Every structure is written in structure tokens, then in C-alpha cells.
Amino acid sequence: MKIGFIGLGIMGKPMALNLLKAGYEVTVSNRSRQKCAPLVAAGAKSGSYSEAAESCEVLITMLPNGPQVREVMLGENGAAAHMKPGSTFIDMSSINPVDSRAIGAALADYGVEMLDAPVSGGEPKAIDGTLSIMVGGKQEIFDRYKDMLGAMGSSVVRCGELGAGNTTKLANQIIVACNIQVLAEALTLAQKAGVDPNLVFDAIKGGLAGSTVMNAKAPMMIAGNDRPGFKIDLHIKDLNNALDCAHAVGAPVPMTASVQEILQWLHNHEGGQKDHSAIAQYYEYLSDIQIGR
């Protein structure tokens, strides 16, 4: 199977590498072409967006947001015009499901099928190929590419028709953000009350409060490590999409709005490129402490 892959950022680069490791022929493309070099060294071909589209049975994008996906696919000399009828576009970016459905409708005019397949797990799971992949689209198209998606993820679930993948991802991002916020709040309480946050984490991680989020983010908060596995600015983007979608369908999301304000505060205080676990730094600022230190 020949695959085109556009977007080689924190997530896209290891995802494309895992496709190569699984034996697929991959043509990579990126706005900053130097980012293609490590993939070429691993066996990929490199080309423009149109060359990636022309050469493939399936074209994958991993881009920041809906406008970038629309521009790459449907803009001037967009990739869609170079795809073969009967080929498939899989957008693995996290965007508004309304945008997914609109892009899918436009691609139908080219005879191109579409799946939206956003991922969860951050850079570590992108590297080891254990992402959770949430897919929207036709059952028969999902069935055709499920094994290929499995080269990048340990969980590949069809959630419904086109747009359902990104709706599921928005729900995921709400849960992750609110978990990180409440974890930071709890560790701040422990520190202010004179109890070692390391011991609090060790004591509760195996109980009902334990979670994948806690296991990943508590050690980062305690160490003061804000190296991005998933950047605050990207989570702001996802929660903006979640709020827009919620407003459109009439879903109440007050906790989402609350954590979004914290993320925005961090963005305004030079934290936008930090890991989203840096929500803890907002609480450290308010309480004049350093968690675990």
C-alpha cells in the first residue's frame, strides 16, 4: 500500500516512522521540508503536497487545525485535485467535526473518500505506536484501512459516520484537560497542607482516583518538567473546538470553559509552548509554592 503523509510535527514524524517500520511505502511532505530528512533516511520518499497525493492510495494529514487541513487539501493547487478517484483521505488532525464533514463533502466531488481519525496519547504513544485512534466514516472504508491505522495505534475504534472521530476526540480532550486541572489542584492542596506530593501520588495512584493522566502528568508536575508532549496552545485549540461544537449542539460544558481560562492565562504568560501539565504552574503562581520542591 502506498501512503502519502503530510505534517511531520511532534506527532506526525513518529507516526510516519511507524508506517515505514510496518512495511508501507510512504511519501512524506511538510511545509518545512528539512523535517522530511529523518524520514527519507528511514526509507521514505519526499515530495510536495501534490506529489504525495498523486503517488498514494491513501493520503494522511496530521496538521494543527481545520484551516490548515482545508488549505492543504482544497486550497490553491490543493492535494485533493491530485488524488486519484477511489483513493482515500484520512485526516488524523484534531479539528472541529463540522470542518471534517465539510471537507468530506468537498472531496466527494473528486471521487475521494474520507475518514476523520484523530489520536490520543501524545508524543510517547506516537513513538511506540500505541495511540488511541478514534475514527469517523463509512464502515467499509474503515474496514479497508483499520490494519494500516493499527501500525500507529493499539486501539482503533470506529465511532460513527464522518465527524464522529473528532467529536470523540473533543470529548477526550475535555476529560484530559479537566483531569490535569484537578490533579494540579489536589497536589497543590497536599503541598500547602505539608504533605509530600510524591507520597500522595504513590498512595492514590492505584485507587479509584488513579488514571493514565495522573501516571503521566503527576511526575512531571512534581519535577517541574514542562517539556511538551502535548502543548498548551494545541490544547487551547482543541477546547475552542469543543466549546464551539458544544454551543452549536446545546451541550453544557462549564468545566471545559473553566480549564480553558487557565490554559489561556498560561498562554498569556509565555506558557503556550509548554506541556499541558504546566497547568500546575498556574496553581503554583496563585499559592506561591513549587509542587514537590
Written as one letter, the residue type at 259 is: V
Which triple of cell numbers denotes residue 92? 488524523
The half-sphere exposure of 29 on its side-chain side, counting CA atoms within 13 A, is 22
Burial of 32 (0-12, 13-18, 19+ CB in 10 A): exposed
Comparing C-alpha atoms, which of 235, 222, 234 is closest to residue 283? 222
Which triple of cell numbers denotes residue 293? 520542591
Identified catalytic residue from 169, 231, 237, 274: 169
The half-sphere exposure of 12 on its side-chain side, counting CA atoms within 13 A, is 26
CB neighbourhood size of 252 (10 A)? 9
178 touches 254 (CB < 8 A): no
> Is position 169 annotated as part of the catalytic site?
yes
Q: Which residues are catalytic?
A: 169
